[in-house]
Amino acid sequence: MIKRTIEISREPAHLTVQLEQLLLKRDGQTVASIPCEDVGVVLVDHPGTTYSHAALAQLASVDAAVVVCGRDHLPAAILLPLADHSQVVWRVRDQVALAGPLRKQLWKQIVQAKIRAQAANLSAGPARTRLLELARTVRSGDPKNHEAQASRVYWSAFFESIAFRRDRFGDGPNPLLNYGYAVLRAAIARAIVAAGLLPSLGIKHSNRANAFCLADDLIEPLRPLVDARVKELLANERNELDQQTKAALLELLTIETQVGDETGPLMVNLHRMVASLVKCFQGKAKAIEFPEPLKADSPNAESRIPTPDSPAPVPCN
C-alpha cells in the first residue's frame, strides 16, 4: 500500500482521531478524514495548526512521521515513532558493531551512487564525462573526497540558464532544494526507524547534535531526484516555495522507482533500501540497493509538475 502524505499549509486545522481515523477539523467541523494506517507523513506548515495527544500517539503507532515547518516554511522538526521491530536489539547491535573496512566500503558505494545519479541529470558533455570518471575512481572511504569534487562540477553545469551557487541559506532554487531534501530526509528517517535501526548512528556522518546521521548518509544518492524535480519546476516558471511547488516536491515520495528487480513508489523503495543496508550490517550482503528513477520512456514514468495555471492542491494530498 502506498502511504499518503498529508500537507497542511493553506489554512490551520486541528488534528484529532476517532475510530482510528485522522480527522482534520476547522471551526469544530470535520473537513477531512483519513484512515491513520494509510498515513506515511504529515507535513505541517501552518503555525495555527493544533494537535490532540491522541492524534500524535495514533500516528506514531502506525509508523507515520510528523514533520513541523518553521517560519521559513522549511521542516524544523520530525516526530518519529520509537522502533517496535521484533529484532531491534540485534539490529542495533549489528549497527554499532559495524567494522571500519565495511564502513568505508559502504561509504564508497554511497558516493559512487550519488555521483552517478548526478551524472544522469546532465546532458552528454565534459561535465558528465568528468562525473562518471570520478565515480569510477572512488576508493574505499573516499579519501580524495571525490564527493566534493563531483559537487563542484555538477552544480556548475546543472542549472545552465542561471548563475547558481548551492548554499543552504541562499536564494534562487536553494529554498526549493532545501524543502525537497528535508521531506526526503524525513521519509528516510521513518524507514530507518521502522527497520529497527538508530537514525543517529551514521556510516560517515557523525555529529553529537545530529539525531539523523544515518538518514544524512542514505539521502546522498537520492538528492539528484530532488534536483531534477526542482529543475522541472523552474522550467515551468514555478520558482517560489508556494503551495504548488511544495505539492510537486512532496509527490516525489510517490514516483515510481526501481530497486534491483523491484519497482514501486519511492516511499516503499526507501524501506527496501534500508533493508539491504540491514543485510550489510548482518554480513548477509555487501552492497546497498538504492532506488533509481525509471527510464523516461518507461510506461510508468510521468511528470507531475504544475503549470502556472494549474489549480492549487487541496490541503490534504
For 64-91, the pLDDT digits (tens) are: 889 898 887 777 888 888 756 556 788 8
CATH number corresponding to 4-79 = 3.100.10.20
Beta bridge partners of 51: 15
Percent of the chain predicted with pLDDT > 70: 91
Name, in order, each residue with C-beta under 8 angstroms of 171's C-beta and a sequence gap of 6 or more. none
pLDDT at residue 315 in the model: 43
Residue 278 near residue 195 (C-beta atoms within 8 A):
yes
Tens digits of per-residue pLDDT, 202-239? 999 988 778 889 999 999 999 999 999 999 999 999 98
Tens digits of per-residue pLDDT, 147-175? 999 999 999 999 987 778 888 888 889 99
pTM: predicted TM-score of the whole model, two decimal places: 0.83
Q: pLDDT band at residue 252, thresholds of 50, 70 and 90?
A: very high
Alpha-carbon span 190 to 196, nearest angstrom: 10
H helix intervals, the chain:
53-61, 88-96, 100-120, 126-136, 146-158, 174-194, 213-218, 223-235, 243-250, 266-282
- For the segment 1-28, the average pLDDT, to the nearest whole number, is 90
Alpha-carbon span 108 to 140, nearest angstrom: 5
Which CATH number, 3.40.190.10, 2.170.190.11, 1.20.120.920, 1.10.10.10, labels domain 88-293? 1.20.120.920
Residue 308 near residue 239 (C-beta atoms within 8 A):
no
Q: pLDDT band at residue 1, thresholds of 50, 70 and 90?
A: low
Domain ranges of the chain: 4-79, 88-293
Counts for the chain of helices (H) and strands (E), in that order: 10, 11
Q: pLDDT band at residue 193, thresholds of 50, 70 and 90?
A: confident
> Mean pLDDT, the chain, as a whole number?
88
Alpha-carbon span 305 to 230, nearest angstrom: 9
Name which of 30-34, 146-150, 160-164, 274-278 the model is least confident about.
160-164
Greatest alpha-carbon pair distance for the chain in Å reads 61
Alpha-carbon span 158 to 131, nearest angstrom: 12
Closest CA relative to residue 131, chosen from 147, 145, 142: 147
Q: At 317, list the grid cell.
A: 494530498
Q: pLDDT band at residue 298, thresholds of 50, 70 and 90?
A: very low
Residue 58 near residue 66 (C-beta atoms within 8 A):
no
Name which of 16-25, 143-152, 300-309 the model is least confident about.
300-309
Residue 308 has pLDDT above 90, yes or no: no
pLDDT at residue 228 in the model: 96
